[in-house]
């Protein structure tokens, strides 16, 4: 059996959990160096059109192996299955089973069913004989699907992702996540602590906290201390060197959260806080529930109260109705604030989102020009900020064995993979 994982760290955790379930069930897994297995599982991403295209391309490549007899069965799982399983089947009819994000615990059943089908036939299954496992709506995440323990990790041993919650209650007009993964469901503190201890025992010294909206942690389970309380509790973990906060939503970032990051030594002085835009007009159209003034106040607090903090953010360029003035405002903000790390995504017109039906979509060439301008500006900012670090000494985490005495490494202000 072979496994392909696409998409973000949250999807990676799903892949690791499914691999853990398969390993526990005794399903043999083929390593990358050993070729391709008889059964291939692809955990898809369906967040953006580009990720959908990537998933379809990967599945079509595997389907070619199936037609040639090298692969017997194909199983598609994940976000794209949840978002548009029927459309995926039309694009890749060679798929034998679909497993949605709310039913990842059924992956063993899907593999065993595929293996039984393979044992009954010397030839690959014909298109159309599809096994559907799970529903295409929110179902059982609170129960069997909630725990991410007993994973077979795909990251290097020294760092791991810990998902605090699933789903999102925000109503951003550009985003497909709530329709794919449902409303927010948080793990309890005890479950998170148990999982963190398991990851540390497995060799992780860096724990990266993820979720669709980490600053809203605890709201749905009645945990009054919220994210600040969770961070303080995580700080008691022996063996954790850096506990890093990712995917923080700006409108819910409290003073207590800032203090928890500043005052607890194991909490990395690093914040990933996607802002998406700075123009009040665009923020309102995005339904971001935050203004430019509130954003600036928060960023000032973060830098004033957390000495040496590194701030990463992402922006969307070319949102429907974004004027040249809106773009210039964003450009100047990026230039003047000086983010440590920054990504810019071109707006993606996603069916099923409120923004899809807006009447003022921009030409793609305009969007691409604006993205390039913003990234070039951030490149200048990054060079300037890094020049200020010349001669400084940092504790670093070595990510890989180096050649010729050069070892890829990160300091506290750099997250894995993205920075």
Domains of the chain: 2-133 (3.40.50.12160), 159-411 (3.80.30.20)
Neighbours of 106 (CB within 10 A): 22
Question: What distance in Å separates the CA atoms of residue 376 and residue 395, rounded to the nearest whole number?
Answer: 29
**pLDDT for 1:** 85
Q: What is the Cα 364 distance to its own chain's centre?
A: 25
Q: 65-79, 273-287, 361-375 — which is least confidently predicted?
A: 65-79
**pLDDT for 141:** 45
If pLDDT is split at 50, 70 and 90, which confidence band does 113 have? confident
If pLDDT is split at 50, 70 and 90, which confidence band does 105 have? confident
Question: What distance in Å separates the CA atoms of residue 355 and residue 368, rounded to the nearest whole number?
Answer: 18
HSE of 393, CA atoms in CB hemisphere, 13 A: 0
Q: Is the pLDDT of residue 279 over 90?
A: yes
Q: Is pLDDT larger for residue 184 or for residue 146? A: 184
Can you give the three-state secondary structure of the chain, one letter per residue? Answer: CEEEECCCHHHHHHHHHHHHHHHHCCCCCCCHHHCCCCEEEEEECCCCHHHHHHHHHHHHHHHHHHHCCCCCEEEEEEHHHHHHHHHHHHHCCCCCEEECHHHHHHHHHHHHHHHHHHHCCCCCCCCCCCEEECCCCCCCCCCCCCCCCCCCCCCCCCEEEEECEECCCCCCCCCCHHHHHCCCEECCHHHHHHHHHHHHHCCCCEEEEECCCHHHCCHHHCCCCHHHHHHHHHCCCCCCCEEEECCCCHHHCCHHHHHHHHHCCCEEEEEECCCECCCHHHHHHHCCCCCHHHHHHHHHHHHHHCCCCEEEEEEEECCCCCCHHHHHHHHHHHHHHCCCEEEEEECCCCCCCHHHHCCCCCCHHHHHHHHHHHHHHHHHHHHHHHHCCCCCCCCEEECCCCECCECCEEECCCCCCCC
Nearest to 268 by CA among 249, 241, 250: 241
**pLDDT for 133:** 54
**Mean pLDDT across the chain, nearest whole number?**
91
Q: 132-136, 256-260, 299-303 — which is least confidently predicted?
A: 132-136
| Backbone φ, ψ for residue 205 (5° rounding) | -110, -10
């Amino acid at each position: 059996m072979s496994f392909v994982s696409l998409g973000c760290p949250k999807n990676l955790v799903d892949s690791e959990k499914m691999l853990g379930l398969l390993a526990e069930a005794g399903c043999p897994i083929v390593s990358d160096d050993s070729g391709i297995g008889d059964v291939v599982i692809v955990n898809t991403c369906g967040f953006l059109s580009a990720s959908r295209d990537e998933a379809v391309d990967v599945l079509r490549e595997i389907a070619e192996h199936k037609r040639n007899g090298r692969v017997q069965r194909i199983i598609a799982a994940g976000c794209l299955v949840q978002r548009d399983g029927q459309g995926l089947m039309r694009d890749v009819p060679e798929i034998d089973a679909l497993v949605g994000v709310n039913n990842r615990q059924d992956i063993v059943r899907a593999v065993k069913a595929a293996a039984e089908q393979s044992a009954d036939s010397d030839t690959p299954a014909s298109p159309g004989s599809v096994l559907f496992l799970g529903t295409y709506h929110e179902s059982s995440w609170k129960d069997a699907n909630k725990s991410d323990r007993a994973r077979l990790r795909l990251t290097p041993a020294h760092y791991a992702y810990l998902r605090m919650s699933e789903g999102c209650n925000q109503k951003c007009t550009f985003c497909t996540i709530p329709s794919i993964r449902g409303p927010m469901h948080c793990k309890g503190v005890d479950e998170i602590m148990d999982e963190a201890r398991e990851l540390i025992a497995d060799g992780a010294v860096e724990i990266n906290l993820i979720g669709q909206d980490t600053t809203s942690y605890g709201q749905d389970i009645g945990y009054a201390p919220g994210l600040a309380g969770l961070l303080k509790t995580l700080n008691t973990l022996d063996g954790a060197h850096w506990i890093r906060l990712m995917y923080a939503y700006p409108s819910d970032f409290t003073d207590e959260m800032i203090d928890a990051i500043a005052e607890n030594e194991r909490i990395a002085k690093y914040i990933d806080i996607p802002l998406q835009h700075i123009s009040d007009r665009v923020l309102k159209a995005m339904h971001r529930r935050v203004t430019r003034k509130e954003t600036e106040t928060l960023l000032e607090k973060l830098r004033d109260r957390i000495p040496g903090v590194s701030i990463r953010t992402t922006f969307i360029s070319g949102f429907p109705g974004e004027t040249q003035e809106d773009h210039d405002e964003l450009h100047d903000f990026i230039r003047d604030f000086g983010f440590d790390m920054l990504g810019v995504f071109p707006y993606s017109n996603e069916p099923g989102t409120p923004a899809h039906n807006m009447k003022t979509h921009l030409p793609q060439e305009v969007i691409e020009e604006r993205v390039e301008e913003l990234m070039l500006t951030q490149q200048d900012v990054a060079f300037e900020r890094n020049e200020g670090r010349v001669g400084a000494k940092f504790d670093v985490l070595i990510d890989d064995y180096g050649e010729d005495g050069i070892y890829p490494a990160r300091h506290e202000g750099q997250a894995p993979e993205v920075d």
